[in-house]
Structure formats: C-alpha cells, structure tokens
C-alpha cells in the first residue's frame, strides 16, 4: 500500500522538552524505528510539523537587529531544510536498502483567505504569561493560551495545491521514500500573471498532508501524534475514546481548533474525497493502526 505518514511535533520535541538539536535528533531516531516497521511492507511518504522550530527561528531572526526579520515564508523553508535533514538522516540509518529524498515544498493558498486576518496557528515555545505579554506588546503578536502559558498565533491559510506534486509523484513511482510538505509547505500565492509570492503564514501540516495523500492516490493517511486515540468530550469529566468511526460520526463532535481539530478535519477530508481510510494515533502505534488495533480509524 501507499501511505502518507504525517509526523506531529512530538516526533521532534515532546511536551516539556527543550528545543535542542540533541533532543530532536534523539526523538527522530525513535520515530524512524517506528516508520521502518511500516516501510518494510508498504510505500511511505513522510510529512512533518514545524510549529516549535519555525517559532524558534522567528525569535532568532527578531533578535538580530542589523537586518529586518525574515518573513514566515522564508522561515518555513528554513525549517523544512533543518527538519528534513534530521528526519532523512535518521531514516537512512534505519532503512538502508531504499533511496530517500527530501523535497523543499511550496503550497498554494488563496491571497484573500480569511485566515490572514484571523491568526489561529500556534508556533514557537510556550511563554510564561508575563513574558508573553511583553513579547506581544513589543512585536504586535497575537497570543493564545497553551497549558499554563501562552503561544504566538500566526495566520494558517487553507492549502489549495502542492506545487511540487509532479516531482514528488515521479520520486514515489521510482520507489523513493519522500519527505515533503514539511510544516504544511511554504505558503505562496499566485498573482494575475501567475507569478508566485511567499506570504506570511504557516499552513496546517495535517490539511496539507491530506491534500498530498489525495493527489498521490494514497491508500491510507496516518496522522501521528502524542495521544493514543481521539477522545470525544475531551477536557470533560467523562472523555470517551473513539476507536473507529465514520466521517459523519466524527463531524458530530467538536474538537479543539489548536490541537485535535485540524487532525480530525484533515482525516475526514481525505476519507470523503477518496473513500479510503485515515487514522489518528500515537507514533509508536503506527503499524498497529493499519491493522485497526490501535488509534482512531476514520472510514467513509
């Protein structure tokens, strides 16, 4: 089978861990071992998030005063290269008999997407409330609650097309494990003449992964995160794990927009448009999710 596997931020940095190179390399090594179990029997395409990393790059860019800060589009591209290198190297060390390539990917979005006026995507670290208030005032950032602190919010336009899809398809058809659409891809808009321009935003990685999986004709979309299953009524006194459900059943529930909501929406879109299956669950359970043993499986 052909499977698009979307690695959540926990594949690089787990909750509460520092955003160091050592931590990310160690965590990706564990992720590569889990992906190897799938790659032994199936063809995989790997995507990944970049929220913590692109936020850190933005802070570094803001700190250097001799030049204006780089735009989010350039920082997304920079994070793709950095994370792609770490993921590819870990996979090469784990999977020695299959070619692997990382593709710098751009994602077409609409210039008039309402997301640009209403930032919803959290990036960067979690700040204490006093630090967050100071940064928000200094940089004119919008912030949102994240646990006991706050995170920066940036626009997250809806992905419309993966611009490198033909090149990715050629590589996949040649048997290459492709790492692509990192961080949802660099968001770009097309002018009236077709000229492409990067825009300040971060595309949701899960929605971009669903679009990629549909374009590649994937049999499964796996959205790997740091929870074992999707839970209905999460945050209440009686959460209920969902083992398997139809798209219609999943859409009857409400999920947090900053965490599980985009994953459920991405899975539902892929299943609706293809009639195939998607699953959401823990990184270590990836192989078991394909067998319907673990995770939350979403069907037509």
| Active-site amino acid positions | 9-10, 121, 205, 263
What's the CA gap between 153 and 144, in Å, rounded? Answer: 7
| 12 touches 225 (CB < 8 A) | no
> What is the full DSSP assignment across 31-66?
HHHHHHHHHTTSEEEEEE--HHHHHHHHHHHHH-TT
Q: Which of 230, 213, 232 is nearest to 222 (CA)?
A: 213
Instruction: Provide CB contacts within 8 A for 292, sequence distance 6+.
Output: 244
If 0-12 CB within 10 Å is exposed, 13-18 middle and 19+ buried, where does residue 101 land?
Answer: middle
DSSP state, 11? G
- Residue written as tokens 């889990």? 34
What's the CA gap between 268 and 275, in Å, rounded? Answer: 10
| 168 touches 43 (CB < 8 A) | no
What's the CA gap between 288 and 198, in Å, rounded? Answer: 39
What's the CA gap between 101 and 175, in Å, rounded? Answer: 11
Helical (H) or strand (E) element with 221: strand 220-225
- Residue written as tokens 């989010």? 72
């Amino acid at each position: 089978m052909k499977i698009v596997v979307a690695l959540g931020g926990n594949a690089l940095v787990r909750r509460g861990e520092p955003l160091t190179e050592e931590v990310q390399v160690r965590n990706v090594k564990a992720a590569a071992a889990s992906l190897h179990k799938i790659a032994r029997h199936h063809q995989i395409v790997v995507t990944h998030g970049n929220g913590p990393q692109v936020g850190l790059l933005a802070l570094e860019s803001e700190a250097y005063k001799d030049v204006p800060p780089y735009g989010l589009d350039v920082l997304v591209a920079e994070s793709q290269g950095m994370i792609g290198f770490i993921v590819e190297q870990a996979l090469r060390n784990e999977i020695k008999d299959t070619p692997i390539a990382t593709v710098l990917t751009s994602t077409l979005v609409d210039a008039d997407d309402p997301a640009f006026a209403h930032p919803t995507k959290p990036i960067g670290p979690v700040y204490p409330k006093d630090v967050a208030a100071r940064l928000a005032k200094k940089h004119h950032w919008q912030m949102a609650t994240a646990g006991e602190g706050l995170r920066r919010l940036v626009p997250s336009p809806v992905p419309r097309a993966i611009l490198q899809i033909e090149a990715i398809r050629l590589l996949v058809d040649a048997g290459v494990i492709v790492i692509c659409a990192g961080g949802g891809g660099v968001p770009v808009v097309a002018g009236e003449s077709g000229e492409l321009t990067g825009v300040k935003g971060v595309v949701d990685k899960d929605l971009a992964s669903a679009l990629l999986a549909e374009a590649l004709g994937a049999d499964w979309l796996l959205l790997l995160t740091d929870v074992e299953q999707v839970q209905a009524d999460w945050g209440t006194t009686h959460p209920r794990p969902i083992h398997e459900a139809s798209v219609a059943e999943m859409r009857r529930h409400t999920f947090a927009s900053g965490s599980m909501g985009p994953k459920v929406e991405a899975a539902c879109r892929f299943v609706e448009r293809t009639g195939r299956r998607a699953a959401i669950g823990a990184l270590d359970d990836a192989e078991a999710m394909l067998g319907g043993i673990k995770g939350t499986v979403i069907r037509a």
